[in-house]
Structure 1
């Protein structure tokens, strides 16, 4: 329905009452199929808890909202056409001096404005495996949002999780592993909110493909059909981490979850997010993701963007629903309270800049410049770019380079973009374009020679709403020229020929390619013949060929990885504006590589779930596309382990310029730690779930020694084998700098949550009695230390 009328409201209310009947039987659920493909109703929507960490903000919000009329409360729940470059703006209450909120993309830097930085993307953060760096990135990036008067940053992204290898938005997310993704998302939330800006963690939930993400004519959005156990143990895990970190907003996604649209799914919003996880903030729709009026209000949606035909101009249909008895006034009060409380929680009531200041709708409109770039961010930008590079091959110490006499540089990705164009692509030579409405940073892609690549310049991010306009771009060739000047090196380059002439005097040949992805479309493959041919042609005539891939997701390398002349390979991911500068420091050994893969690189597409491809409408469900997550929790390395598939490069793998050894594993169950089967029934719910889930019940330590000749950082990883589940699951990591010859003791805390499984029958996290294998090492398949923990 487009708007409410009394007959429709009455019918919706009767349907809601009828649908409550299965919920009464929930205590007798005995199998997971109850949740698979259907979403049981959960009503009513619980009010904001106002727990200890939110108590002051909650009290202030209650006091302010109590002064609002029903019409004013309804008004602030809907979006308005922005008067600035904000992605969306809520209604305001001028008579109470409540300004309304400016919400803006993106999770990788502030979009639609100038004088901000282009930060490393989510996938790059995941490849760095550095909690403190993730926090610092969030803090500094959040400072830019605040300087521009943005109240809500639309990020970080923890969904998609990477189930579909070709998904167009995997680059915005952090990792295919929920533990790594959740840990770094939590740091990002704390960093951005530490700067006084609310995070809107997205996309909740099951948003694993771009294909059919939105309704198209008579075809509904794809339904991600996920059983209850998989939902909790995999896809919900990083959202729980973000909520535990205090996230002030969650964005519901475009897709359906178990055949109910995410933004009107009462099980997801009322039952899991607001009850089970104790979420304090507000739920906002993705832009245009609302598909009903009363149902979405009852189900727990609090704010609609960018506007709402269903709730009406100024939220007028909500007012009608309350006045005719279809919707409790307390629901609208809670919507407004959650929104206003986030404003108070982030301290935005004191000296916060004017909303969207320095962000005109039209980029060419004369405007007062607002400089959001803080000089103190420079080191964080560079460190972030450095640490997300992953070295996966380095034969005979081909790297680092040592003052070469002649370097030959090849490939379309080496060069800086040649043209910026405001208003859309007007020239096929333009490698990057700004959309007039978004000022997004998006490469120009043509159908030739390969639709999977950005042919006309290096990429520092993917495309769509997750991208922003950088202050500058340090391309590989730019930084190489500066290094050549210092070393007296001669450079030869050819960025455009796919079968270039090779100077046989070259000390090394550097080949630069990319793998592009963007919102709105899934990738067409995990490699492309054009780039593979370029690499093979160079390697055929150069005995020291070094390949760098700027990849917005998994990129296969089987066509050339074993070529004897290919001596080094780098997954450079999406480093942000300091891309070339960071890469050259790594190539020349000024810094050692320290990143590791946040996903598995297979040998074949067929090794991934559904061959890595999105589902398509077919058969009886052409109008209601269905995607059954029948593999359960077995994605990425969990699946490779279960099927005994040998990957090309395993999850967590990455080389440095030195070597490390592991020793002295200790495993200790803490005295007094509760290891009962179930948490106490009356236990307090805190942000993120039952309080005891976050109790540390065991500690693991190990010693790492730098046995090589270069100071470098190592990422130690801890995996646990939970009985009855995957062979092993990541449950701890620590990135430590270790000088040559020194050793460092790493410590891992295992929380109750880390060792538990989700029980469908008990509807709770439970521990099992028995022995839990513990593994510590350098990657998911290099685990020299093995022990066990008895529960």
Structure 2
């Protein structure tokens, strides 16, 4: 009865007044702080390369009863399956159902799988091919386990607006261009293995605080935070990487918990019907985040297609009845089912020559179960190389690194050793549930509950940090910790090791003959809770204490996001610093490759490291409920498109380490900048191509190129990431924004030539009045090429005549 009451109320609500999907916004004031209605929900049309999948899905759905269509839209509890979500099969038509399983660094909550580099680690690699290979290998493991839908990668929301955001580590970068390029590679990699890639979270899911409704101490409901944004910022920043993922073919989109301009994300008709399905031509299905559905009829009409983990609260039989009584048109239910099945066909899960295996995800790993070893030996090089390339060297005084056959090394810090898992049995990695094993309750509170969550400690002292916490984590078969890998190298070199992982703050703990002192700390983060700070006193004291006793102190940080270092970075005894991010299971092995110079570091920061937390301004902390919005928290995105390095550039703030920065064991020189418009390129002010998935087809046309040369002027072979930034000549645009990157391996005294292709959308601004992307014809664009967002020795111009 409760569900039926919600249907009745929502069906009669004046909020659900109907408007055309073409009922567009003509100014930012109208869009800011409120979400206009866009109805009806656009139906799948088979745009672009979706034609065959659409035709098959239509034929399939035409054979279904009303109840069978409804069953496709809602998850159900399945005690025999370890899947995170399940959709019932339809055996009479040869459809075995769907298994949805979490993914961030690999298949979650199962055994015999690998832990790959995290999203932020892949972002720090700036390597397109490696990102594809990572996704391809992960996709194979999902398929081997029988999971038909991988719930990310890619994660492009959160983008990383809030510096202390608890889930920033799951995404690639705070920059929409870098994030979008790597998201597209991830979609192609996952889906080439016959697995649906679920891109998440759509949209403005930028903090964990108040991401879902909660009950306060007075037993009153506090609604989820509302991300209030203008139309231009929505398009130019937060929608940007989603468009790349859609253009690459992503077949599933997950809607978010937060409200968007005061309308919940999974029932926001402007976001789902207007932006996603109409403007971006989305052909796949929208699935709710777990428990993110807040209404029945409202979410159905607004464009939600699938509910997880259960459809019974609002849909199920209620949805069937709503169709019968006219509250929801049957065409809408048919479209939901068609979109779901089209995604299934689009990823070739019906292929008779490549049948999908049975479910290999056991509900309880401690009980006897069918062992499915999903690991492919061919993925081993990808796992290691992915771990290597996400490390970023930010300080290396007097070529401290690489190490050269040290006689005695001293190791310090809680992050050096293997994790101490206090819960016995396979697969019970505390990182997959929260920050620390003794702190699981606080994370579960934020993840599943609607109560008040206690704060959690900033330091993970249980051991080395290879994955973040929450649904993006997984449980590898092994973990190569820094100490273990260094010990193996010491055996080969005959190096004496001293270590102290507990009492490193005691004076006199450093051996006087140490060639180097290696200190390992981390900066942890987890879904459900935002980070309490960007640094912590315990870890900073550990570094400064060791540095006071050791003139050659090398610091490695395994960080799930920005980590400030100004408490000790200028200490002359701190000679080298590595941001190690979250490398996955080969963490220690990868670090040894870099420390001993078998591979030169090549990672670049996918975010800006400030000197002080205050440098991030209003974008440091998540926004909580404050009067007069105590029960309806409001988060106004007043900074517009200026987040991270864009904000630092706009305000003239000098960062400690800028976006795109990273050292190698050699030096590079940039030269020979040239830019030109592609001959025959269409230079109309607005795109004229048909809408395909991702937007107008000609938005992806290459209309200009920029070329440059990179010379290795040192004596070590290394990879450099050549970066292209563009200054768009339009009011309100960032000083510079990333619009190209190429990673090239260059040998000493050799020169590599790089070419950046600029697509129409890369040089366009969002025209709010025209509701279209616009080129600034006849105006002079500035182009910059170099090794980071602040080190750009090559400067030129480009005019679209």
TM bin, normalised by shorter chain, reads over 0.9
- Which residue in the other structure is 1:532 paired with? 540
Distance in structure 2 (CA, Å) of the matches to 1:208 and 1:444: 26
**How far apart in 1 are the matches of 2:619 and 2:696?**
37
Which residue of 2 is the match for residue 612 of structure 1? 620
Residues 161 and 235 in structure 1, CA contact (< 8 A), matched pair in contact too = yes
Matched, 1:635 2:637: no
Distance in 2 (alpha carbons) for counterparts of 1:787 and 1:145:
46
Aligned position for 1:784: 793
Q: Which of 737, 741, 766 does residue 729 from structure 1 map onto?
A: 737
Matched, 1:164 2:170: no
**Residue of 448, 472, 475 corresponding to 1:469:** 475
Q: Hey, what's the Cα distance between the residues in 1 that align with 2:174 and 2:522?
A: 20
**More off after superposition, 666-675 vs 730-739:** 666-675
Matched with 1:261 is 264
Task: Kindly indicate whether residue 230 of structure 2 is the aligned counterpart of residue 227 of structure 1.
Answer: yes
User: Cα distance 1:612–1:486, how it changes in 2: closer, same or farther (>3 A)?
Assistant: same
Match of 2:360 in 1: 358
Which of 135, 142, 145 pairs up with 2:142? 145
Greater CA deviation, 601-610 or 370-379? 601-610
Distance 1:288 1:698, change over 3 A: same
2:492 matches 1:486: yes
Q: Deviations over 1:84-112 (max 9, x none)?
A: 11000012222222111000001220001
Counterpart CA distance in 2 for 1:565 and 1:445 is 35
SS, match of residue 73 in structure 2: coil
Q: CA deviation at 1:492?
A: 0.5
**Counterpart of 1:691?**
697
**Pairing 1:241-252 to 2, within 5 Å after superposition:** 241-252=244-255
Q: Is the 8 A contact 1:657 1:710 kept in 2?
A: yes
C-alpha distance in structure 2 between counterparts of 1:735 and 1:535, whole Å: 33
Aligned equivalents of 1:168, 1:696: Cα separation in 2? 36
Query: Residues 10, 541 of structure 1: CA spacing in aligned structure 2 closer, same or farther, 3 A cutoff?
Result: closer
Separation (CA, whole Å) in 1 of partners of 2:741 and 2:23: 41
What is the CA distance between 1:364 and its match in structure 2?
A: 1.1
SS in 1 for 2:4: coil
Q: Does 1:86 align with 2:83?
A: yes
After alignment, is 632-641 or 762-771 more displaced? 762-771
Which of 662, 682, 688 aligns to 1:654? It is 662
Of 33, 56, 62, which aligns to 2:58?
62
**Corresponding residue of 1:429:** none
SS in 2 for 1:171: helix
| Residue number in structure 1 paired with 2:572 | 564
Q: Deviations over 1:443-477 (max 9, x none)?
A: 43669999111112001011011000011000000
Helix, strand or coil at the partner of 1:278: coil
| Alpha-carbon distance between aligned partners in 2 of 1:434 and 1:595, rounded to the nearest angstrom | 28
CA distance in 2, matches of 1:187, 1:97: 31
Task: For residue 674 of structure 1, give the secondary structure of its aligned residue in structure 2.
Answer: coil
C-alpha displacement of 1:26:
3.9
Tell me: CA distance 1:423–1:625, structure 2 relative to 1, closer, same or farther (3 Å): farther
**Number of the residue aligned with 1:522:** 530
Q: Which residue of 2 aligns with 1:427?
A: none
Matched, 1:75 2:71: yes
Summarize deviations over 1:323-343 as a string: whole Å, max 9, x none.
Answer: 111211111111001111111
Asked whether the 8 Å contact 1:444–1:455 carries over to 2, the reply is no
Per-residue deviation, residues 45-81 of structure 1 (Å, max 9, x unmatched): 1111212311111111111110001111011100001
For residues 303-702 of structure 1, what are the structure 2 equivalents within 5 Å?
303-312=306-315, 315-350=316-351, 357-419=359-421, 421-422=423-424, 434=429, 440=433, 443-444=436-437, 451-500=457-506, 501-610=509-618, 612-680=620-688, 683-702=689-708
User: How far apart in 1 are the matches of 2:580 and 2:456?
Assistant: 20
Give the deviation of 1:611 after TM superposition: 5.1
Is the aligned partner of 1:127 residue 2:124?
yes
Asked if the contact 2:144–2:357 (Cα under 8 Å) also holds between the matched residues in 1, the reply is no
- Structure 2 counterpart SS, 1:199: strand
CA distance in 2, matches of 1:657, 1:736: 15
Partner of 2:450: none
Whether the 8 Å contact between 1:443 and 1:459 is mirrored in structure 2 is: no
Aligned to 1:471, the other structure's residue is in SS state coil
How many residues end up aligned between the 2 structures? Answer: 774
1-side partners of 2:621 and 2:15: how far apart? 36
2:242 is aligned to: 239
Tell me, in whole angstroms, the C-alpha distance in 1 between the residues paired with 2:13 and 2:614. Answer: 48
> Secondary structure of 1:187's match?
helix
Asked whether the equivalents of residues 433 and 442 of structure 1 are also in contact (C-alpha less than 8 Å), the reply is: no
- State whether residues 84 and 102 of structure 2, in contact with CA within 8 Å, keep that contact through their aligned partners in structure 1: yes
Partner in structure 1 of residue 448 of structure 2: none
SS in 1 for 2:549: coil
Separation in 1 of the partners of 2:237 and 2:764?
Answer: 13
Q: How far apart are residue 9 of structure 1 and its match?
A: 3.5
Structure 1 residues 374-396: Cα deviation after superposition (integer angstroms, max 9, x where no partner)? 00000000000000000000000
Look up the match of 2:35: 39
1:699 alignment partner, SS class: strand
Distance 1:123 1:26 in 2: 35
1:116 counterpart residue number = 113
Q: Which of 743, 759, 762 is matched with 1:754 structurally?
A: 762
* Contact 1:35/1:228 (8 A) holds in 2: yes
Conserved in 2, the CA contact under 8 Å of 1:445 and 1:451? no
Distance 1:2 1:658, change over 3 A: farther
Show the counterpart of 1:211.
Answer: 209
Q: Tell me what 1:278 maps to.
A: 281
Instruction: Give the superposition deviation at 1:24.
Output: 8.3
Shift of 1:442: 5.3
* 8 Å CA contact retained: 2:48, 2:692: no
Equivalent-residue separation in structure 2 for 1:219 and 1:604 (angstroms): 32
Q: Deviations over 1:717-757 (max 9, x none)?
A: 00000122110000000000011111010000001100101
Residue in 2 aligned with 1:719? 725
Q: Which residue pairs with 1:774 in the alignment?
A: 783
Report the RMSD for the aligned CA atoms in angstroms: 2.0
CA distance in 1, matches of 2:34, 2:433: 37
Checking the alignment, whether the CA contact within 8 Å between 1:450 and 1:530 is kept in structure 2 is: no
User: How many Å separate the matches in 2 of 1:232 and 1:646?
Assistant: 28
Q: Counterpart in 2 of 1:195? A: 193
Contact (CA 8 Å) 1:166, 1:613: kept in 2 or not?
yes
Change (3 A) 1:687 1:760: same
Find the counterpart in structure 1 of residue 290 from structure 2. 287
Q: Report the counterpart of residue 428 of structure 1 in structure 2.
A: none
Cα drift, residue 607 of structure 1: 0.9
Aligned to 2:375, the other structure's residue is in SS state coil
Residues 398 and 2 of structure 1, relative CA distance in 2, 3 Å threshold: farther
**Deviations, residues 471-490 of structure 1 (Å, cap 9, x unaligned):** 10000000101111111110
Shift of 1:18: 3.3
User: For 1:595 and 1:449, how far apart are their aligned partners in 2?
Assistant: 33
Q: Deviation digits for residues 604-634 of structure 1, max 9, x if unmatched?
A: 1111142511001010111001100000001
Aligned residues of 1:434 and 1:442 also touching (Cα < 8 A): no
Q: Deviations over 1:352-371 (max 9, x none)?
A: 66676232111112011001
Q: Kindly tell me: are residues 449 and 275 of structure 1, through their superposed partners in 2, closer, same or farther at Cα, counting changes over 3 Å?
A: closer
Q: Determine the C-alpha separation between the residues in 2 that align with 1:578 and 1:604.
A: 32
The 2-side partners of 1:445 and 1:643 are apart by 42
The answer to whether the 8 Å contact 2:7/2:296 transfers is no
